[in-house]
């Protein structure tokens, strides 16, 4: 099986899940599904279909999309089973950090002034 996501790879997600990630959910098949969900969420939340535009985007925009999608997918992996982490606080802190960055990036991608900048870069 190969990566099927547009915005990020399995490896990018796995690097964010830490050592305690579930062996069941931290595999390519699950992550491909999680990335697909994340990409759809990003597109709808920003009211722009970045998936269709992806090949024409500059590297800066692609990296924001990559960070956002991999953060959201990593949250799904961590949330699947938090039992492998040292404690619930560790897993929750990881989720909170990933969520905060994802929400910041969604805000950047949604802002029309930022979109104008990114489109003209």
Domain boundaries, the chain: 10-120
Q: Above 80 in pLDDT, residue 119?
A: no
The pLDDT tens digits of the residues spanning 50-80 come to 999 999 998 989 999 999 999 999 999 999 9
Q: In which band, very low, low, confident or very high, does the pLDDT at 114 lie, cut at 50, 70 and 90?
A: low
Longest CA span, the chain: 46
The pLDDT tens digits of the residues spanning 76-103 come to 999 999 999 999 999 999 999 999 999 9
C-alpha dist (Å) from residue 92 to 47, 49, 57, 66, 105: 29, 30, 33, 22, 20
pTM above 0.75, yes or no: yes
């Amino acid at each position: 099986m190969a990566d099927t996501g547009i915005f990020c790879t399995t490896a990018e997600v796995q690097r964010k899940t830490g050592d305690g990630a579930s062996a069941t959910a931290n595999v390519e098949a699950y992550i491909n599904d999680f990335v697909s969900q994340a990409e759809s969420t990003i597109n709808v939340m920003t009211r722009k279909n970045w998936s269709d535009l992806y090949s024409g985007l500059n590297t800066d925009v692609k990296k924001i999309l990559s960070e956002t999608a991999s953060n959201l997918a990593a949250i799904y992996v961590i949330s699947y089973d938090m039992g492998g982490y040292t404690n619930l606080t560790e897993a929750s802190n990881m989720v909170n950090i990933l969520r905060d960055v994802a929400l910041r990036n969604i805000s950047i991608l949604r802002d029309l002034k930022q979109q104008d900048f990114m489109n003209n870069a």
